[in-house]
Amino acid sequence: MEYSKKVMEHFANPHNVGVIEDANGVGEIGNAKCGDIMKMYLKIENDIIVDVKFKTYGCASAIATSSIATDLIKGQPISEALKLTNKAVVEALDGLPAVKIHCSVLAEQAIKAALSDYYTRQGIDPVPIVGVIEEHDHEH
Ligand code: FES
């Protein structure tokens, strides 16, 4: 199994690792395939993701994908973060071994779960986002 240089870089030196104490969107997702867990913290102001951090009990691919996924959504509006797919994340990493593709779904889903939590806290119905998460579950 070969990892791209980018995967190795993000695994060795992951960006945005940690916890945001005053996060206003927090999402936790477990990977049904391997049991790994990821927790995503978002700080959102005026619909912009001003800060994002993650913690994971996951494999190298989960760490690398979260690192690059959080880079991709930081400073972006919520609408852009919602468009982020695991495919885009894998492409940004110059690919992942086929058996590791399921790991990249964890980052995408944790971000969506955190956005869903944000909406719930704002009193907005998060059903459209939850629907997106469930759709992905069915793909496995
Ligand atoms: Fe669990 Fe990669 S093996 S997330």
pLDDT in tens, 66-103: 999 999 999 999 999 999 999 999 999 999 999 999 99
The pLDDT of residue 31 is 87
Strand ranges across the sheet with 25-30: 25-30, 37-45, 48-57
Residues 80, 88: Cα–Cα separation, whole Å = 12
Whether the per-residue pLDDT at 123 is higher than 60: the answer is: yes
Residues 138, 132: Cα–Cα separation, whole Å = 10
When pLDDT is averaged across residues 26-37 and rounded to a whole number, the result is 91
Residue 59 designated active-site: no
96 lines ligand 1 (CB under 6 A): no
31 lines ligand 1 (CB under 6 A): yes
Q: Cα dist. 86→93, 121, 140 in Å?
A: 11, 26, 13
Share of the chain above pLDDT 70, in %: 91
* Test site for ligand 1: of 93, 103, 104, 136, most ligand atoms within 8 A of the Cβ: 103
The pLDDT of residue 135 is 57
Residue spans of alpha helices (H) in 74-126: 78-83, 86-92, 101-121
Please report how the helices 60-73 and 101-121 are oriented relative to each other, as an axis angle in degrees rounded to 10.
50
23, 49, 103, 107: which one is catalytic? 103
Residue recorded with tokens 């994971």: 56
The pLDDT of residue 136 is 55
Residue with the smallest CA separation from ligand 1 atom 4 is: 103
Mean predicted lDDT score pLDDT of the chain: 90
86 lines ligand 1 (CB under 6 A): no
CA gyration radius for the chain? 14
The pLDDT of residue 60 is 93
When pLDDT is averaged across residues 46-56 and rounded to a whole number, the result is 96
Residue 103 designated active-site: yes
The pLDDT of residue 134 is 62
When pLDDT is averaged across residues 19-39 and rounded to a whole number, the result is 94
Share of the chain above pLDDT 90, in %: 81
Please choose, from the candidates 68, 74, 37, 85, the residue with its C-alpha nearest in 3D space to the C-alpha of residue 52.
Answer: 74
When pLDDT is averaged across residues 9-28 and rounded to a whole number, the result is 96
